[in-house]
């Protein structure tokens, strides 16, 4: 190995006392989660990226805490493994992960008993893999296509079910919980703009007091709410078959801000989310929070360029 100031790889070399078997398993699981490549000679390898450096530095500190020894080394090359071969090894590792996800997806798609929660779990696993797919394994696009097929099928099923009773959602009262956050505010905006222009909104934790209202984003699960790994905004968008490309962008923004799983890598909603949280702590009515919040979502909608 050649050490260089302009390294392209990070190498973690460590050892733990023999009586620390459980700690060794803990370290191994974290290395696997980070996508580190085990070298036969010694250590674990990752591309020299800042998040990877942080992962390795924290692991090294943890190992030293467990009375072990650890070093994080910048490496320009590994003498018996050319850079191209190392990249291929990372791709092969992620390809095995993608094959596993693809097999589970195909099994779910062929089953008559699949649930949104099952697809949500598979999608989260796919997201975890993409975060450590440093060299974009070719199988990634195949799994993405399978997920899109699953989403389209679920969306079509939901849309058909909802369309049969769409007239029942016009000029209605819609109910959600008090102190609306970003998902509820954005959902109210979507309802008024694309579903029920004459919608009225009430805020309550007691649905029985508003039995005629249509619930959304309620903890008890009735009406429109989170479904699988979809936030309420996404449930409404798919349920009513709203195809506006800019709404799809907003759905991604709201999803990432509300669920915090970085599924779409969207950060635009974080500021809106923080503003709404701050407003909820002020002496403002729920109606005022909703009014200002929906104006922000409309501004976001207007600011989004029409996707190609």
- pLDDT category at 165 given cuts 50, 70, 90 is low
User: DSSP characters for 167-179?
Assistant: GGGSS-EEEE-SS
Residue 144: the pLDDT is: 86
Any idea which of 19-23, 70-74, 113-117, 239-243 has the lowest mean pLDDT? 113-117
pTM of this structure: 0.54
Whether 159 and 170 share a structural domain: no
Run of H or E including 80: none
- pLDDT category at 211 given cuts 50, 70, 90 is confident
Whether 298 and 179 share a structural domain: yes
What residues make up the domain containing 232?
166-303
Residues 6+ apart with CB under 8 A from 285: none
CB atoms near residue 187 (< 10 Å): 29
The CATH number of whichever domain residue 22 belongs to comes to: 3.30.70.240
Last residue of a domain, one of 120, 135, 163: 163
Looking at per-residue pLDDT, the higher value among 102 and 121 belongs to 102
Beta bridge partners of 47: 9
Residue 151: the pLDDT is: 66
Encode burial over 266-300: b for 16+ CB neighbours within 10 A, e otherwise. bebbeebbeebeebeeeeeebeebbeebbebbeeb
Helices in 66-181 by DSSP H: which ranges? 83-110, 116-131, 139-163
Q: Is residue 308 part of a domain?
A: no
226-261 per-position pLDDT tens digit: 887 889 999 999 888 898 989 999 999 999 999 888
Looking at per-residue pLDDT, the higher value among 126 and 297 belongs to 297
Whether 77 and 91 share a structural domain: no
Whether 184 and 295 share a structural domain: yes
Mean pLDDT score across all residues of the chain: 87
Whether 119 and 224 share a structural domain: no
Last residue of a domain, one of 132, 163, 194: 163
Last residue of a domain, one of 163, 179, 213: 163
Number of domains in the chain: 3
7-44 per-position pLDDT tens digit: 589 999 999 998 888 999 999 999 999 999 999 877 99
Rounded CA gap, 294 and 286, in Å? 12
Whether 107 and 101 have beta carbons less than 8 Å apart is answered as no
Whether 170 and 158 share a structural domain: no
**Six-digit token pair at 159?**
């849309």
Whether 223 and 283 share a structural domain: yes
Question: How far, in whole angstroms, is CA 38 from its chain's centroid?
Answer: 28
Any idea which of 30-39, 68-77, 121-130, 183-192 has the lowest mean pLDDT? 121-130
Rounded CA gap, 152 and 136, in Å? 24
Q: Is residue 106 part of a domain?
A: yes
Inform me whether the pLDDT recorded for 4 exceeds 50.
no
Residue 15: the pLDDT is: 93
- pLDDT category at 119 given cuts 50, 70, 90 is confident
Inform me whether the pLDDT recorded for 131 exceeds 70.
yes
DSSP 3-state assignment of 164?
A: coil
- pLDDT category at 76 given cuts 50, 70, 90 is confident
User: DSSP characters for 192-249?
Assistant: IIII-TT-EEEE-S-GGGGTTSEEBS-TT--SB--BTTB-HHHHHHHHTT---HHHHH
- pLDDT category at 77 given cuts 50, 70, 90 is confident
- pLDDT category at 306 given cuts 50, 70, 90 is low
Q: Is residue 206 part of a domain?
A: yes
């Amino acid at each position: 190995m050649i050490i260089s100031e302009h390294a392209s790889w990070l190498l973690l070399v460590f050892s733990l006392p023999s009586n620390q078997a459980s700690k060794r398993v803990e370290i191994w699981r974290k290395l696997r989660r980070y996508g580190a490549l085990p070298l036969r000679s010694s250590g674990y390898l990752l591309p020299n990226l800042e998040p990877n450096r942080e992962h390795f530095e924290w692991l090294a500190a943890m190992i030293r805490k467990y009375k072990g020894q650890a070093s994080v080394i910048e490496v320009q090359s590994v003498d018996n493994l050319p850079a191209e071969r190392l990249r291929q090894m990372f791709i092969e590792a992620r390809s095995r992960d993608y094959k596993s996800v693809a097999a589970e997806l195909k099994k779910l798609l062929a089953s008559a008993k699949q649930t949104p929660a099952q697809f949500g779990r598979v999608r989260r696993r796919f997201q975890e893999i993409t975060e450590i797919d440093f060299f974009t394994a070719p199988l990634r696009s195949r799994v993405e296509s399978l997920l899109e097929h699953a989403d389209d099928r679920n969306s079509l099923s939901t849309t058909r079910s909802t369309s049969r009773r769409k007239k029942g959602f016009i000029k209605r009262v819609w109910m959600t919980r008090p102190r609306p956050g970003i998902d509820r505010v954005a959902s109210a905006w979507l309802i008024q703009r694309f579903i029920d222009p004459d919608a009225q909104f009430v805020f309550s934790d007691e649905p029985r007091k508003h039995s005629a209202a249509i619930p959304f984003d309620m903890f008890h699960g009735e009406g429109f709410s989170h479904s699988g790994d979809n936030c309420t905004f996404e449930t409404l968008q798919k349920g009513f078959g709203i195809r506006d490309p800019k709404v799809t962008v907003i759905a991604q923004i709201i999803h990432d801000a509300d669920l915090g799983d970085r599924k779409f890598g969207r950060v635009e909603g974080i500021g809106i989310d923080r503003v709404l949280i701050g407003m909820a702590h002020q002496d403002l009515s729920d109606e005022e929070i909703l009014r200002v919040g929906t104006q922000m979502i409309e501004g976001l909608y207007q600011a989004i360029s029409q996707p190609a």
